[in-house]
Amino acid sequence: MKITVYGATGMIGQRIVNEALTRGHEVIAVARHPENLKKEHKNLKKQPGDIGNPDSVASLAKDSDAVVCSVNTPQGVDPSWFRTVAKSLLEGTSKAGKTPMYVVGGAGSLYIAPNVQLVDTPNFPEAYKSAALEHRKFLEILKNSGATHWTYLSPAAFISPGERTGKFRLGLEELVTDSEGNSKISVEDFAVALLDEIESPKHQGKRFTLAY
């Protein structure tokens, strides 16, 4: 498969690129500064691109089997930029013939109780709240679009670099926790779950999540 990855130099994006290459896929790594991605591989192509421009997205999506969005808000840019990205991805991939798109989302919009999302709880870190609310809006835009060629993957409440175990549990709209109430996943296993979904889609037009 040929997979385009936006945000390829980020913590999660780099692991997605590595996992895809390990599985034998071709990867187009797109970033604001692709030179920051030091990895070299015969199946890896690096290039700049504008994820906020539907025509730019379409130009890459038309030659891809999947488009992955793993971007963060650029420094100094309002988090509402995510809404522009959501609309641009939908329009661009649709123009390209509805290329499947996969979004690295946030955990804040996962439910911890009926009608209660993680981001709305008193102890949710204030530093991450604005980004979490915009990730929630991103998901709403996807769900209300009428399109079904998207998939949104929310991580566990805590995600950090670690081991690639390939062992985790999946969920849909509710936060996945262990017997002690913890919700964790390594970035490496997050990438495994995303590539599993790309290779064998089971959540088209839906959000899903994972944790140990």
Token pair belonging to 161: 């670099």
Confidence of residue 165 (pLDDT cuts 50, 70, 90): very high
**209 has pLDDT over 90:** yes
Q: What CA–CA distance (Å, rounded) separates 135 from 105?
A: 6
Neighbours of 136 (CB within 10 A): 20
Task: Among 3.40.50.1360, 1.10.3720.10, 3.40.50.80, 3.40.50.720, name the CATH number for the domain at 2-211.
Answer: 3.40.50.720
Closest C-alpha to 135, from 12, 41, 3, 2: 12
- The whole-number pLDDT of residue 36 equals 83
Confidence of residue 48 (pLDDT cuts 50, 70, 90): confident
The domain limits of the chain are 2-211
- The whole-number pLDDT of residue 128 equals 86
What whole-number percentage of the chain has pLDDT above 70?
98
**65 has pLDDT over 90:** yes
**146 has pLDDT over 90:** yes
- The whole-number pLDDT of residue 189 equals 98
Q: What CA–CA distance (Å, rounded) separates 33 from 209?
A: 29
**76 has pLDDT over 80:** no
Q: What CA–CA distance (Å, rounded) separates 67 from 178?
A: 31
Angle, CA of 198, 72 and 159, to the nearest 5°:
65
